[in-house]
Amino acid sequence: MAALLLSALLLASAAVASAYQFEVGDETGWIKPTGKERHSYNDWAAQNRFHIHDTLHFKYAKDSVMEVSSADYLTCNTSNPIAKFEHGSTVYELSRPGFFYFISGQPGHCKLGQRLIVRVMHPLQPDLPPASAPTGGDSGWPEFSSTAKLSVVSYFVAAFVALAVTFWLFL
Ligand SMILES: *[C@@H]1O[C@H](CO)[C@@H](O)[C@H](O)[C@H]1NC(C)=O
């Protein structure tokens, strides 16, 4: 019984990862691209894995951050932001799985590449490399059901291994 309890605890603690704060653009921060960059903001995003409750820290000067729809992201349309921040230091919490779209609110900056798509993992989704961003629409999860089935299987495999190890250690 104690072993069962312990392995349940082990599993639970593995599932609760702590939130992480990402520095958008690393040392460069959130700036208008000069055209000489070797990496775009989306290259930066592709190197990271984002989970619910992680935060994005945008650091900028004489600029702004807008969260926008996918359509407004694609056209760099700054006229209907979902949210707008312009205080130079913005911490944005990724509160749900799926896609988040950010652009600069300064005229011309988005078209030069100051824009970012972040895909937040579904809690049941294994940390696979992010799929390429959608070209339109807002449907984040057409592939969800098969991914979910896979991760449920791997969850049970992990649970079985944890149980087996616990029994081996304690009995
Ligand atoms: C931006 O979006 C608004 C509202 O959807 C629209 O009226 C406007 O024409 C768009 N601007 C551009 C430049 O596409």
Question: What 3 state SS string does the chain have?
Answer: CHHHHHHHHHHHHHHCCCCCEEECCHHHCCCCCCCCCCCCHHHHHHCCCECCCCEEEEECCCCCEEEECHHHHHHCCCCCCCEEECCCEEEEECCCCEEEEEECCCCCCCCCCCEEEEEECCCCCCCCCCCCCCCCCCCCCCCHHHHHHHHHHHHHHHHHHHHHHHHHHHC
Ligand 1: centre distance to CA 74 (Å) = 12
45-89 residue pLDDT tens: 999 999 999 999 999 999 999 999 999 999 999 999 999 999 999
| pLDDT attached to residue 136 | 47
Q: Which ranges of the chain have pLDDT less than 70?
A: 1-17, 125-171
The residue nearest atom 5 of ligand 1, judged by CA position, is: 80
The residue nearest atom 3 of ligand 1, judged by CA position, is: 79
Measured from the CB, is residue 71 less than 6 Å from ligand 1? no
Mean pLDDT across the chain = 80
pTM: predicted TM-score of the whole model, two decimal places: 0.68
User: What is the C-alpha to C-alpha distance for residues 135 and 150, in angstroms, rounded to an integer?
Assistant: 26
